[in-house]
Amino acid sequence: MHSEPMHSEPMPPDPKLLDPKDGASMSPHAAHAPHPTGSASGTAPAPQPEVLVQPDVLVQPDVLVRREGRDGRLGRLTLNRPRAINALTGTMVDLLDAALRDWADDPTVTAVVIDGAGERGLCAGGDIRAIREAVLAGTPERALAFWADEYRLNARISRFPKPYIAIMDGIVMGGGIGVSAHGGVRVVTERSVLSMPEVGIGFIPDVGGTWLLSHAPGELGTHLALTAARIGAADAITAGLADHYLPADRLPDLLDTLRRAPDPAAAIAAFDFAAHTPPPGRLTADRAWIDELYRGDKVTEIVAALAASPVPAAGAAAAEIAGKSPTSLAVTLRALRTARSMTSLEAALDQEYRLARATLATADLVEGIRAAVVDKDRNPRWSPARLDDVDPADVDRFFAPVDVDLGLAAALTAALAAAPDAGR
C-alpha cells in the first residue's frame, strides 16, 4: 500500500478524441501520450500533452489509456502522476479496471502494457495519507472501499486472458507491486527498486503481497516482508516478483517492437530478453542463511536467530525488523504462513482485506503513516513497542471471521464451476 503522496482527484470528463499525430484511438477514460520513459543518458522525457475536453478546461488524465500499433492491437496503460511517483488513487484504480474489462473481451486487443510516466518509477504505492485522514475523520469505510476496488483489480490482472506486460522501471512499491507483479510478463531494469514496506507503517503486505511473498523460494519472501527490504532487478527475478531484465535504454525498442508487430502477443513471446543479464543481486548468495534463520513461526524466534548469527547481513536484518511495528510483524508472519497453503491469489486477497480492516482499529497504522509521510520524523511510537509485548489474542482478532468479506475466492469458485476453463 505504501507511498508518500497524495489526495484523490476528481475524474476528468471523457476526452473522446483522436490523436492527430498517429490516429491511435482514444479510450473514453483517458487520452494518448508519447512513451514516458526517458533515455539512458538521463534526458527528460517529452512533456505529456494536455487534453482539451471542453472549452477553456485543460486536464491531465491520471491514467493514460489508449490503443497503439497495427489496428490498435496493443493496449497501453500509463500511470500519469509523475510528481507523486504515479501513486494510486481510487480514480486510477477505477480507470485501470475499466480498461482491462473492455480489453479482456475485445478480440482486436492482443496484449496490454502498463508503465509509469516520468523518470522516477512505475508506482510508489497507494494513497496512505488519504487512509490516515479517513481513519481520523471517523470514515474508515472510505479506506475499505479503496482496498476492495484495488484488490479486485489485482485479481483481474492475475487472470487477464492476454499478455499483461508490466514495465517495472524505477520505484515499484506496495500498490505498484499489485498492478505489476501479478501480470504475465514482468520486466525490470537496472533502475528497478522493489519493496513491500508495509510493516514500517503499521500495516501488512497487501495487494496480493502475502501470496507473492509466501510463494517465493524458501524463506526469501519472509525476509522481504519482515525487513521491508528494497531489492533490485536480479533479486526481484530470484524472488519471483519479475520475469525478465532489460536495460532501461532498451525499453523504447521493446515498445516499438510491440507497436510494429502484427500480433503484440506473439512479439512479446519472441522478444530476446535472454540477451541481457541484470547486475548481480544478493538473495541467491544469502539464500542459505535466510532459509535457515527465517523458518520459525514466531517473529521473536526469527529475530533471536538472526541476532545470534555470525553472518553480518543477518544481524543487519534483525536490526531492520526491530524498527517495524511489532503487531504488524506478528500479523504479517502468520498471514504469510497461512497464505502459503492457500490455493489462489483470490483467497489471499480475501484474507488481506480482513487484515486491512482490522488494522483500521489499531493505533499503529495512523502512527506509522504520521511518522513516515506526515511529520516525517521516522520515529513511530508503536503500541505495543516490543515484540515480546504483542498479545497473541490481539493477533487472533485480525484473523477472526467478519460479517462482510471481499468474496473473491467464492466468486472464483463459482466462475470455475460455471466455466471450468475460466481459471486456466
Annotated catalytic residue within 62, 119, 127, 206: 206
Contact 123, 87 (CB under 8 A): yes
Question: Which of 90, 121, 125, 175 is flagged as catalytic?
Answer: 175
CA–CA separation, 189 and 81 (whole Å): 20
Helix, strand, or coil (residue 64):
strand
How many CA within 13 A on the CB side of residue 403?
0
Establish whether 253 is a catalytic residue.
Answer: no
Compute CA distances 317 → 49, 217, 242, whole Å.
Answer: 45, 18, 23
Q: What CA–CA distances, in Å, run from 150 to 1, 16, 352, 381? A: 10, 26, 12, 29
Phi, psi dihedrals of residue 136, rounded to the nearest 5°: -65, -30
Question: Catalytic residue among 38, 90, 126, 200, which?
Answer: 126
- Given a contact cutoff of 8 angstroms between Cβ atoms, the answer to whether 233 and 281 are in contact is yes
Phi-psi sector, 402: left (phi>0), alpha (psi -120 to 50), beta? beta
What are the residue ranges of helices labelled H in 294-344?
299-308, 312-322, 326-340
Q: Which residue among the candidates 198, 350, 364, 367 is catalytic per the annotation? A: 198
C-alpha cell at 295: 523458518
| CA pair distance 382, 328, nearest whole angstrom | 10
218 an active-site residue?
no
- Whether 126 is a known active-site residue: answer yes
Residue 322's nearest CA partner among 296, 300, 305, 295 is 300
Contact partners, residue 420, CB within 8 Å, separation at least 6 = none
Cell numbers representing residue 77 in the block: 496503460
Nearest by Cα to 75 from 93, 99, 46? 99
Q: Give me the half-sphere count of Cα atoms (radius 13 Å) on the Cβ side of residue 164.
A: 24
Dist CA 281 CA 194 (whole Å): 13
Cell of 25: 484511438
Task: Catalogue the active-site residues.
Answer: 126, 175, 198, 206
